[in-house]
Amino acid sequence: MIRKMMMMQFALAGIALAQAPTLEQAPVVGTTHKLACPSGTRQIGGPRSDFGAYACLKGTVDGMRLMHGPMVSFDNAGHVVAVGQMEENFRTGTWKFFDADGKLIGKTSFLKGEYDGARVEYQADGKLKFEEMWVKGKRQGAQKAFDTLGQMTVTEYRDDRPVAK
């Protein structure tokens, strides 16, 4: 009985934490920003470049050019809109996405360019809009959506398809 009560408290605390507004802001990145590019790569681009991003570039023996290492993407006004890692032209790891005011609007985990792991998006007030789990590019498990009042709807997915109840 005590264990059941504790689990209920943890579940309620999780809902409260899930609806706590996010306060994370985009990093401040200027025209002289230096990325921590891996050995064998060089930094390219910038906020006002045609490329619209800072990235690390490496060449291959057959002449291909691959983005490899940290990357910061900008909108046309020069605001940071995405921060993450590239691995030979594919997004990898957790990427963060920001609006023009620098407010965090989402996080997505990638593996070799596909969604893999948690994907979350926030509402304008910073509260959760949705929370999804992905495995190798397919939604798996409980996918949670929240309305503006914080009410949660859960849809179970298997291999990127909703599971009938």
Domains of the chain: 37-89 (no CATH), 103-165 (2.20.110.10)
pLDDT of residue 20: 64
As given in the structure block, the two tokens for residue 27 are 């990093």
CB 109, CB 93: distance < 8 Å: yes
**Single-letter amino acid, residue 59:** G
Q: Write down the pTM of the prediction.
A: 0.83
Mean pLDDT, consecutive 10-residue segments, the chain of 165 residues? 39 48 83 93 92 93 92 95 97 97 96 97 93 97 94 96 87
pLDDT of residue 15: 47
Q: Hunting for tokens 């792991």 — which residue is that?
A: 117
pLDDT of residue 131: 97
Rounded Cα distance, 83 and 32, in Å: 17
